[in-house]
Structure 1
Amino acid sequence: MDPRHIAIGIPEGLKFSDLKLARDPATGDVSFDVAVIERICEANGLPSDYFMIRPEDALSGLLTSWYRAHIAGGGEPDAVQEDLIAEAREEDAHGGGLSYQPGSA
């Protein structure tokens, strides 16, 4: 199995809104309920910190895929996730962005 691409299932009853995505307007920092990510990891037989110890693209990919499925299933748009998707598109259009590990910028 390619470790960069694994199939992840979202546990029954878990909604995208359970993440409680938020963004600090002053810093742009994104926050969310880590327990939701831990629950997804545990339901898929992964260590609870699986996405927290990997590069941010891993968690971003999970959230983006989950959000797409959420919207396709008739779910309500999430303003923070929409903003993050728009930012990623803008970065991609201009050759990518810069991303630093915490404490190393």
Structure 2
Amino acid sequence: NDYTDLLEPDPDPTTDFARMARFLSGTAIGLVLGGGGARGCAHVGMIQAMHEAGIPIDLIGGTSIGAFMGALWADELNIKGYVERASDWCKNAKKQDNQRFSYPTF
């Protein structure tokens, strides 16, 4: 039947309705990312692997670089854009110009 795809589409786990259903049923999926500068780039791969496996992320949190990468994901919510932005940040983080560890003084 040609109408099967129109009448019974596969459920999309990333929709707002699916997310709300997971919250209401107590099955929401959360991801907490750890700190440590070198781990930041590894977090990108973890989020990408979860996306490729079809595992939705309903809640995200972290500490230090994990919080930054989590915020970047929450801002983007598009895996291609997220990987691009995070990869750019990882490449630029290696430059000495970005390694300022003290507050500016006047």
* TM-score, reference length from structure 1: 0.32
Bigger-Rg structure (1/2): 2
> Comparing both chains, which one has the higher relative contact order based on Cα–Cα distances under 8 Å and sequence gaps of 6 or more?
2
* TM-score, reference length from structure 2: 0.32
